[in-house]
């Protein structure tokens, strides 16, 4: 099997894992542990794994003037990103959360245009408007099985998480060009752990672990080890072998897998609101991320 095929398989596997994570994480919280306590578990577990693996990777020193960027990346990529995502997921449904996450590529391009002062084409503006309409429609009307009065807040928090992750991708780009991934990611997770500790400790402390079912322990382990650590390694593989545009396409598979798992396990339903919202978001993201035909076919 060629390296490209291995990378394509890895990218598909990442989408399947993320699709599963929406439902698995929802099973854990808020019934057994609240969102912030779960985040503390996830970040601390991943941090220990990254630092352990870092022992076997070539040693690099990080320049002191790069630490402010690492701290900001830790805030947007670990602390604020994960706190808003898990809190949002605890209030909304797996399908709604996965559809909103598809807006990430669109958000990255919008933030890049604002920060780097890039010119926005008419097609991109229309795509952004469609995506915003679809997202707003889902946030306001995307009720689901077992949804409470906080579904709107949950969907909004998932959107905030996607925006935060968009900032992270822009901030971390220079670090990826300068260092081995393990060199800076272990620091990002260390600073991220310190940031989530004040929020998650009280929720972690009150959990009666003696009455938590074994299946929930396995699900927590899946999120910490597979959804965080393993997917990061797989993403490194895919980014090394595939073009960024190819990797970006795989984010579209996440709502598909999330929907299959959530409906198959009876955790969610597929309503007309979700279908219409998903179509608007998908079309919007496609219009924003596609290059003009002249650029695509330039020799």
Average confidence (pLDDT) per 10 residues, the chain, 299 residues? 79 86 85 90 93 83 91 92 88 79 74 68 76 72 54 85 84 81 87 94 91 93 92 78 64 74 72 78 70 47
The domain tally of the chain equals 1
Residue 288 vs residues 104, 139, 162, 260, 269: alpha-carbon distances, Å: 11, 21, 16, 27, 29
Is residue 298 assigned to a domain? no
Give residue 100's domain range.
Answer: 3-290
Tokens representing 289 are 């991320």
Is residue 127 assigned to a domain? yes
Residue 138 vs residues 74, 98, 229, 238: alpha-carbon distances, Å: 29, 11, 30, 31
Angle at 275 between CA 269 and CA 279, to 5 degrees: 150
Is residue 295 assigned to a domain? no
Tokens representing 98 are 């996965």
Is residue 159 assigned to a domain? yes
Give the pLDDT confidence score for residue 39 in this predicted structure. Answer: 93
Is residue 228 assigned to a domain? yes
Is residue 277 assigned to a domain? yes
Q: Rg (Cα) of the chain, in Å, rounded?
A: 19
Is residue 45 assigned to a domain? yes
Give the pLDDT confidence score for residue 219 in this predicted structure. Answer: 93
pTM of the shown model: 0.78
Rounded distance, CA 175 to CA 158, Å?
26
Give the pLDDT confidence score for residue 196 in this predicted structure. Answer: 94
Coil, strand or helix at 48: helix
Give the pLDDT confidence score for residue 247 in this predicted structure. Answer: 65
Give the pLDDT confidence score for residue 139 in this predicted structure. Answer: 67
Other Cβ atoms closer than 10 A to 244? 10
Tokens representing 292 are 């003009």
Q: Are 244 and 112 in contact (CB under 8 A)?
A: no
């Amino acid at each position: 099997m060629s390296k490209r095929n291995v990378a394509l398989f890895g990218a598909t596997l990442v989408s399947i894992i993320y699709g599963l994570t929406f439902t698995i994480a929802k099973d854990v919280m808020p019934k057994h542990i609240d969102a912030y306590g779960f985040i503390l578990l996830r970040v601390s577990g991943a941090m220990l794994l990254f630092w352990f693996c870092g022992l076997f990777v070539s040693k690099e020193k990080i320049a002191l003037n790069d630490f402010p960027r690492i701290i900001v990346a830790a805030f947007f990529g670990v602390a604020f990103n994960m706190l808003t995502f898990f809190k949002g997921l605890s209030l909304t449904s797996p399908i709604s959360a996965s559809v909103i996450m598809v807006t990430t590529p669109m958000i990255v391009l919008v933030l890049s245009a604002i920060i780097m002062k890039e010119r926005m084409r008419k097609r991109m503006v229309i795509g952004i408007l469609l995506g915003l309409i679809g997202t707003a429609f889902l946030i306001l009307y995307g009720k689901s099985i077992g949804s409470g009065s906080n579904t709107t807040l949950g969907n909004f928090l998932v959107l905030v998480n996607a925006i935060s992750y968009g900032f992270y991708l822009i901030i971390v780009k220079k670090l990826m060009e300068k260092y081995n991934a393990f060199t800076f990611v272990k620091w990002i997770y260390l600073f991220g752990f310190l940031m989530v500790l004040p929020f998650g400790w009280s929720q972690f402390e009150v959990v009666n672990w003696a009455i938590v079912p074994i299946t929930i322990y396995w699900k927590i382990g899946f999120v910490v080890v597979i959804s965080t650590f393993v997917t990061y390694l797989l993403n490194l593989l895919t980014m090394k072998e595939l073009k960024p545009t190819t990797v970006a396409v795989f984010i579209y598979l996440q709502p598909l897998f999330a929907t299959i798992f959530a409906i198959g396990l009876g955790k969610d339903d597929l309503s007309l609101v979700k279908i219409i919202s998903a179509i608007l978001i998908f079309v919007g993201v496609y219009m924003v991320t596609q290059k003009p035909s002249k650029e695509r076919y330039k020799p």
